[in-house]
Structure 1
Amino acid sequence: MTTTTPAFTRTPRALRVPRKGISPTMLRIEALRQLRNPYTLAFTLAMPVVMYILFGASAAYGSQSAGHGNVSFYVMISMAAYGTAVAMSSLTSLAATESKQGWGRQLAMTPLGTVGYALTKLITSVTFAALALVAVFTAGVLTGAKADDAWRWVAAAAIILGIGLMYGLFGLGVGLFFNADSAAALASISMTFFAFFGNVFMPLDGVMLSIARFTPLYGFVALSRWPLTDGVLTTGQADPLWMPLLNVLVWLTLFSVLVVAGVRRSRTRR
């Protein structure tokens, strides 16, 4: 005798929710949500601009020559790189904490799939990183930041946005590994800490410079400044190109390991 599966045990094809890649509605809501978030506006957009104005635009030495431009351009690149790192790390950490809090189960009831959700978060993070860069560069244009050639502006911006994506891995790993309530703050505070000890906010020398070369932001910011300085530091020393490249490669690997460890840790909590 032939048996058939009861109809109520099969999901009718007409009732299956088709999955979408990126939802424009979700992207718009996410962007507006971050724009209404005072934490995001303060640390991602406002802080790099304010720090540039304090240490680059309003400083008496801002118009002095530095490499293929002036000191204001040097400080502008540093602050734009810092703002990009903070934007990528803090916003991706929020995505990781939302996933741990069960947002994925809610998404399963909507047409937006996991890939679409991840892409939405990534696009939002990159957008805010780009906004931070544009804000600092605009402040630089208005306050006398100069480079010898226009391509140096473009090259610095491309390096900042391209390599700055790696800090999305850092934020994702922090969000997965640590408590959801503190992950975003920890990610952005860590970037500020790394900036102070990574030759980003102030020129370092001697032992502090030697230590800085091993920190997560040193290679990224050094490469961002390369179109201006060709690797020459404010102390007169010069870094060979392989040094910041190696720094970036090592920390990219370590951030990837942090993400893997965070995934495993988040699974053990369930």
Structure 2
Amino acid sequence: MTEQLVQPAPDVVRTAPRPDMVTYARLDLRRQLRDTFGMFFIVGLPTFMFLVFGLGSDEQVGSGNVGMYIMISMAAYGAVTATTGVAGSAATEQVMGWGRQLGLTPMRPSAFVAAKAAIAMLVALMPVTLIFAIGALTGARGSWSDWVLAALLVWFGSALFAIYGLAMSLVFRGPNATGIASGMIVIMAFLGNVFTPMSGLLLDIGRLTPLYGYAALARFPLTEGYLPVGGRDALWLPVANVLAWTVIFSLLALWGVRRSRART
């Protein structure tokens, strides 16, 4: 009789992590969406900037027009703001002790990471979808391959800044770490040729910054690397930029994890 009562328990333990992960992801996504201030910077601000600078911009750029060029740039800015914020908050939660609370639940650390990654990419999809939809309705012009490739590069490429958000939050270790990481995105966007075309020394410096390679790669299907101010970036340049910063951010995140473990 005792064996019959005890035997079902392992099945319950094995199946518990999956609904817990889904439940956590659902609740955390709801929390992210209720953050009006955060969602304004992720969705509202890039959309507003596109409406201000992108509408009526029908001059030829590559295989499309200026409207599409600005649309891709603003969608990229919104996507990286999303992944930086969500990943940064995950690291901060772990540093501030939330990880120990989750350790009391059936959800494994790998499930927590998977849930946060899914949330980051879902939130990043929101500004990309909205801005591309507005662009399609307001005269952004390009070939169908430009639209598809640009959308995929903007969305998947924003995962690089999830690593960045994680690294910065682990390095700075504090409740303000996510805010610092998000604030630095604005500076990197200016240097990365996202908000306004640069030339000369600023352009040379900008080519070395993280957002330059990501934004240039997302716009490459449209522009083939040609710059509004003249000149052209070969495809290897944005690819090398993205790969280099992926390695740098990953090493920073790894160092941050090791430092946090050394202090506990």
TM-score by length of 2: 0.92
Q: SS where residue 217 of structure 1 aligns?
A: helix
Instruction: Supply the distance in 2 between the matched residues of 1:24 and 1:268 (Cα, whole angstroms).
Output: 31
Per the TM alignment, residue 24 of structure 1 is displaced from its structure 2 partner at its CA by 2.2
Contact 1:84–1:133, Cα closer than 8 Å, also in 2:
yes
Q: Spell out, residue by residue over 1:119-177, the C-alpha distance to the aligned partner (whole angstroms, 9 max, x if none).
A: 11110000011111011111212221111x21210110111122221111100011111
Per the TM alignment, residue 266 of structure 1 is displaced from its structure 2 partner at its CA by 1.6
Alignment length (residue pairs): 255
2:3 corresponds in structure 1 to none
Contact 2:75–2:154, Cα closer than 8 Å, also in 1:
yes
Per the TM alignment, residue 264 of structure 1 is displaced from its structure 2 partner at its CA by 2.0
Q: 1:242 aligns with which of 230, 236, 239?
A: 236
2:17 corresponds in structure 1 to 20
Q: Percent identity?
A: 40
Per the TM alignment, residue 205 of structure 1 is displaced from its structure 2 partner at its CA by 0.5
Task: Say if 2:110 is the partner of 1:111.
Answer: no
Q: 1:127 aligns with which of 122, 126, 149?
A: 122
1:88 corresponds in structure 2 to 83
Q: Which amino acid aligns with 1:164?
A: S
Q: Which amino acid aligns with 1:222?
A: A
Instruction: Supply the distance in 1 between the matched residues of 2:109 and 2:258 (Cα, whole angstroms).
Output: 18
Q: Spell out, residue by residue over 1:216-246, the C-alpha distance to the aligned partner (whole angstroms, 9 max, x if none).
A: 1111100100111000000120011111111
| Residue ranges of structure 1 left out of the alignment (5+ in a row) | 1-11
Q: 2:252 aligns with which of 253, 258, 266?
A: 258
Greater shift after overlay, 12-21 or 107-116? 12-21
Q: Spell out, residue by residue over 1:84-143, the C-alpha distance to the aligned partner (whole angstroms, 9 max, x if none).
A: 111111110000010112222212221211111111111000001111101111121222
Q: 1:178 aligns with which of 157, 172, 178?
A: 172
Per the TM alignment, residue 80 of structure 1 is displaced from its structure 2 partner at its CA by 0.7
Contact 2:67–2:140, Cα closer than 8 Å, also in 1:
yes
Per the TM alignment, residue 198 of structure 1 is displaced from its structure 2 partner at its CA by 1.1
Instruction: Supply the distance in 2 between the matched residues of 1:230 and 1:194 (Cα, whole angstroms).
Output: 22
Q: SS where residue 54 of structure 2 aligns?
A: helix
Instruction: Supply the distance in 2 between the matched residues of 1:173 and 1:223 (Cα, whole angstroms).
Output: 23
Per the TM alignment, residue 21 of structure 1 is displaced from its structure 2 partner at its CA by 4.2
Q: Greater share of helix residues, 1 or 2? A: 2
Task: Say if 2:57 is the partner of 1:56.
Answer: no
Instruction: Supply the distance in 1 between the matched residues of 2:216 and 2:152 (Cα, whole angstroms).
Output: 14
4+ residue stretches of structure 1 with deviation over 3 A?
A: 12-19
Mark the structure with the bigger radius of gyration.
1
Q: SS where residue 202 of structure 1 aligns?
A: coil
1:3 corresponds in structure 2 to none
Task: Say if 2:205 is the partner of 1:211.
Answer: yes
Q: Which amino acid aligns with 1:49?
A: T
Per the TM alignment, residue 180 of structure 1 is displaced from its structure 2 partner at its CA by 2.3
TM-score by length of 1: 0.90
Per the TM alignment, residue 39 of structure 1 is displaced from its structure 2 partner at its CA by 2.8
Q: 1:150 aligns with which of 130, 144, 147?
A: 144
Q: Which amino acid aligns with 1:129?
A: A
Contact 1:69–1:146, Cα closer than 8 Å, also in 2:
yes
Instruction: Supply the distance in 2 between the matched residues of 1:262 and 1:183 (Cα, whole angstroms).
Output: 13
Per the TM alignment, residue 254 of structure 1 is displaced from its structure 2 partner at its CA by 0.5
Per the TM alignment, residue 265 of structure 1 is displaced from its structure 2 partner at its CA by 2.2
